[in-house]
Structure 1
Amino acid sequence: MKRILIADDHDAVRSGLRAVLEQRPGWMIVAEASDGRSAFEAALKERPDVAIVDFFMPRMTGLEITRGIKKHLRETEVLIFTAHESGVLAQEALQAGARAFLVKSDANKLLLAAVEALMARKPFVGGRFWGQSGREDEAGEGHVKLSPRERLVVKLVAEGYSNKGISAMLSSSVKTTETHRASAMGKLGVNSIAGLVRYAIRAKLIEE
């Protein structure tokens, strides 16, 4: 019996995932969690084969959960699940140790395939992001090389999040977020949020 953990702060999302996954014979949901800390503790206790973790979770982010799982539970594979369509997030997830990345809007058609891949110890990245992560800045201004965290901050700023909101999502200090934002603006040669938004659109970090 293959054991699966589901971690998302929305009850409806967890219920939907459970309904899809339990259709597959031999798969069992051993734990659910609505925040990051509970998810990590449940993973340590249940030692699932696969952990499906939302990218943005309260108390611990999906990236922090992933790093913790890969440090203590090397046999557990992680699928990062998010509502945000971004190769930047995909790269962050894979660098943290996740082997799969999936956008929630693709769950109905790709979730089972993603989990099957993880059960077989194979990577899975949702179709639109395969081969794209880490290269989004080339779409607009190829000579500019932002770090993965700088690109993520630029994306979130362009989506309208404040420094405080970004810091909460990434579990970092406001000062750290401001540093990444200032560094990105310096590299891009822009001095306003409007400039960051224009870059984010050109680099396909957000939809126009």
Structure 2
Amino acid sequence: MRKPTILIADDHPILLRGLETFLQDHKHNVIATCTDGKKAYNAIVKQKPDIAILDIDMPNLTGIEIAKNCKRHNLDTKIILITLHKEKKIYENAMRYNIHGYLLKEFALNEIEVCLEKVINGESYFSKKIYKRFLKTSDANAMLENLTPSEIKILKLVAEEMTSNEIANMLNISPRTVSNHRGNIVKKLKLHPKPNALLIWAQKHKELIE
């Protein structure tokens, strides 16, 4: 069985060399290494590797921009991205640009073998911490879709630690109306009716409701 061909791109030479050595030591077929995004994309077009392992933050073209170009030009290379960050839109980008794997740099060497096995078999792989974050974020987004625009507006103010009276004054409505809205939000978010439960949830997911 033919070993899949692999291209690696990272603008940090030490990290690039370390990953290349690791993969070669584990008998993987690394056919090219690149230190910037444009060179990586050109190499993908020319050499058509089965898999490209790309750093997200690179000069000239980012890993995501390379993935966009690959999809736009119907290139078959499967993209695995490596990042230092837990980006908010990881899952959205993965679905939109047909990215097959996301690894955090701190765990890359520990997870790359499993990731490659999954990708070679036509599956996707996310670093465990990224996957957990995605699950929590997607669940929260699904719940937020059940809220009305007025409830979202109140939830934003709750996240700012405003009281019901302060919210009522700002929105020019009665405190009772605010309390009713808050009660409905608690039910829709399936929160336990305990003190500060709504405030804790709103602050935890503040970036989703901004």
Q: TM-score, structure 2 length as denominator? A: 0.63
The alpha-carbon deviation at position 96 of structure 1 amounts to 1.8
1:125 and 2:160 aligned: no
Identity %: 26
Q: Which segments of 5 or more consecutive residues in structure 1 lack a partner in the other structure?
A: 146-186, 193-197
How many residues are treated as equivalent by the alignment? 158
The alpha-carbon deviation at position 202 of structure 1 amounts to 1.8
Partner of 1:22: 24
1:110 and 1:22 map into 2 onto residues whose CA distance is 15
Q: TM-score, structure 1 length as denominator? A: 0.63
2:14 and 2:48 map into 1 onto residues whose CA distance is 24
Partner of 1:151: none
Partner of 1:170: none
**Looking at CA atoms only, which structure, 1 or 2, has the larger radius of gyration?**
2
Q: Which segments of 5 or more consecutive residues in structure 2 lack a partner in the other structure?
A: 147-154, 161-199
Q: CA offsets per residue over residues 24-66 of structure 1, 9 Å max, x none?
A: 22x2211111111111001011100100011122111211101
- Aligned runs of 1:32-71 on 2, under 5 Å? 32-71=33-72
1:204 and 1:47 map into 2 onto residues whose CA distance is 42
1:204 and 1:120 map into 2 onto residues whose CA distance is 37
1:94 and 1:54 map into 2 onto residues whose CA distance is 18
Which structure would you say has the larger RCO, counting Cα contacts within 8 Å and 6 or more residues apart?
1
2:84 and 2:50 map into 1 onto residues whose CA distance is 23
8 Å contact kept, 2:70–2:76: no
Distance change (3 Å), C-alpha of 1:204 and 1:117: farther
